[in-house]
Amino acid sequence: MRPQRSVEVEVTRLETWAKGTGCGDVAFLKLDVQRAELDILEGAGDLLDGCLGLEAAVYPTLTEALSKLAHVAAE
């Protein structure tokens, strides 16, 4: 399958969006964005501090996902 066309879209960090909408604390987050879940989590920033639950697909191997998440947590 080859791409048929390109489309430019505006991208906003999850943390920036949440602050801009005034949504407050997030208790649960569900992500299904076709392998971009960890990129979104990297942009979640402090929003995840109060998050009690998270459902997301992960990279092909659990080891890759945990390694990436450990890097995000360390920042």
Q: Is 8 helix (H, G, I), strand (E, B) or coil?
A: coil
Q: Is 10 helix (H, G, I), strand (E, B) or coil?
A: coil
Q: Is the pTM of this model over 0.75?
A: no
In the chain, where the domains are located: 14-74
Q: pLDDT, tens digit, for every residue of 21-51?
A: 988 888 898 888 877 887 888 888 888 888 8
How far, in Å, CA of 41 to CA of 74, rounded? 13
Is the pLDDT assigned to residue 68 strictly greater than 80?
A: no
